Amino acid sequence: MNADAPVLSVRGLRKVYGRGGLIRLPGRPRAAGLTAVDDVSFEVARGEILGIAGESGSGKSTTVKCVARLIDADAGEVWLGAQNLMTLTGGRLRAARRHVQVVFQDPYSSLNPQMRVGTAIREAGVAHGIEGAREPGFAVDLLAKVRLPASYVDRYPRDLSGGQRQRVAIARALAPRPEVVIADEAVSALDVSVQTEIVNLFLDLRDQTGIS
């Protein structure tokens, strides 16, 4: 890949919810639906941090889900290097998803409450075929990257504070060794002092790993 080429390029992204509905009544026009994302385009360079700002309901989270292919956009292109994620299906899509991971707003709901921290992190690596992901040290190393002690591998999400849970969520997102990590309002549910710690953690991870 060209070192100067963007790692992620989004072009003309569009998503409409509820277009037409399930039932169309005779003599009535099909409902237009709610346009959540309309002609959104941006590029992210390797190691760059890009922020998308907007009021509540403006389509930020929908953009995230479309870029990560958690939902399908109605139009547009999402290029990860030389691959257009919008055209991928099956095994090729699963393989490409490894490179784009998401950290969500609520860390508690994004973690399985019945799964120990170490297991959750290891499974994220195993699911994407990362070498050594089954080893206990795999989770310990990732916890160290997010500044949590090795003993946390045996804890459950309920044993952690909000900031600690979000650090675990970040460690899990790093497990597949992505090129891009998307933070979907990842600090908005945390205390102000913890927000600063998480933002600084993201900056340090960018500097250490070169992720975008």
pLDDT at 29: 54
Reduce the DSSP state of residue 200 to 3 states and report it: helix
Q: What is the pTM of this model?
A: 0.88
Q: For residues 82, 62, 94 and 169, what is the CA-based torsion angle, rounded to 10 degrees?
A: 110
Q: What sign does the CA torsion over 138, 97, 172, 199 have?
A: positive
pLDDT in tens for each of the 212 residues of the chain? 555 789 999 999 999 998 655 555 555 555 568 899 999 999 999 999 999 998 988 899 999 999 999 999 999 999 998 999 999 999 999 899 899 999 988 878 889 999 999 999 999 999 999 999 999 899 999 999 999 999 999 999 999 998 999 999 999 999 999 999 999 988 887 888 889 999 999 999 999 999 99
58: tokens are 């403006």
**One domain, residues 85 and 25:** yes
Task: Give Rg (Cα) of the chain.
Answer: 19
pLDDT at 185: 87
pLDDT at 3: 59
Q: Where a domain ends, among 89, 115, 130?
A: 89
**One domain, residues 69 and 103:** no
**One domain, residues 122 and 78:** no
Domain enclosing residue 15, as ranges: 1-89
CATH at 157 = 3.40.50.300
**One domain, residues 71 and 122:** no
**One domain, residues 4 and 59:** yes
**One domain, residues 78 and 103:** no
**One domain, residues 146 and 74:** no
pLDDT at 63: 94
